[in-house]
Amino acid sequence: MNRLIVRWLATAACAAAYVHAQALPTAESILDRFVEVTGGKAAYQQHTTEIMAGTMAIAPQGLTGRLTRYALAPDKEYSVVELGPIGKIESGVSGGIAWERSALLGPRLKSGEERAQALREAQFASPLAWRKNFPKAETSGVETVNGEECYKLLLTPAAGKPETRFYSRKSGLLLKAVATAVTPMGEITAEVEISGYQQFGGVLYPTQSRQKTGGQEMVITITDVRHNEAVPDGYFEVPAEIQALILKAAGK
């Protein structure tokens, strides 16, 4: 009898696990739902440029600053961060070239996984481009984020480390992301809590990101997003210092 009970319990547990797995929606449906609840495909596609402005604060170090990001469809991007005594940090993507320039590290080309990550982030209206950015996407379970049940997704790019995202079961909005960034200082895993969605140009954007990395916390607050405004061509040109690095790498 005991053996029958154990066998029955094991069968029931397997059946319950199967039903639970079957009940989980596909990653594709969750990611497509995010596009819809944040405005829909048509709303995203009506924009060709994006200018985003905000503030950045790293409380433990007492650092505060401003950030501005310029983007041009389909895949050009230029960002500048002015962070107190650290000074200006610029980065950009254009023509498949990803670069960065700062007082701390000088001009440098991004390569390998760091370049691949920059190219993904430069995709205009990136929620629409998730299939291109992440060839493999799967729903791995349900977890709670700040008291709200979320679907846990594992997204794997063609090059680089997988990224984990948490989408609210109720609203469909992205509430948290965990990713490993490749930097000149090595690999850094960051946990980012996302909130404060507001509409700009018919699309919902999160206006606050709280990033925790190695015991440090950085808060980014978006104050304005403008679309379809002219952006000076020079913002998307590869700087002369970076061009020199490209020629040097090519042996010219």
Q: Is residue 42 assigned to a domain?
A: yes
Diameter of the chain measured on Cα atoms: 81
pLDDT in tens, 102-146: 988 999 999 999 999 999 999 999 999 999 999 999 999 999 999
Residue 137 · residue 155 · CB < 8 Å: yes
Residue 20 confidence (pLDDT) above 90: no
pLDDT at 52: 98
Domain range for 117: 26-249
pLDDT at 8: 44
If one counts the domains in the chain, the total is 1
Q: Is residue 241 assigned to a domain?
A: yes
Q: Is residue 9 assigned to a domain?
A: no
The domain that contains 77 carries what CATH number? 2.50.20.10
> Considering only CA atoms, which of 109, 127, 104 is closest in space to residue 32?
127
Residue written as tokens 């039903």?
19
Q: Is residue 94 assigned to a domain?
A: yes
What is the mean predicted confidence (pLDDT) over 29-50? 98
Q: Is residue 52 assigned to a domain?
A: yes
Give me the long-range contacts of 207-213 (CB less than 8 A, separation at least 24). 207/54, 213/188, 213/189
Mean pLDDT of the chain: 90
Q: Any alpha helices (H) in the chain, and if so which ranges?
A: 2-23, 27-37, 41-45, 112-121, 130-133, 240-249
Token pair in block for residue 78: 């230029």
> Considering only CA atoms, which of 50, 159, 59 is closest in space to residue 110?
159
Q: Is residue 152 assigned to a domain?
A: yes
Q: Is residue 16 assigned to a domain?
A: no
State percent of the chain over pLDDT 70: 91
> Considering only CA atoms, which of 209, 222, 210, 216 is closest in space to residue 185?
216
The reply to whether the predicted model has a pTM over 0.85 is: yes
DSSP 131: H
pLDDT in tens, 53-109: 999 998 777 889 999 999 999 999 999 999 888 899 999 999 999 999 998 899 999
> Euclidean distance between the first and final Cα of the chain, in Å?
81
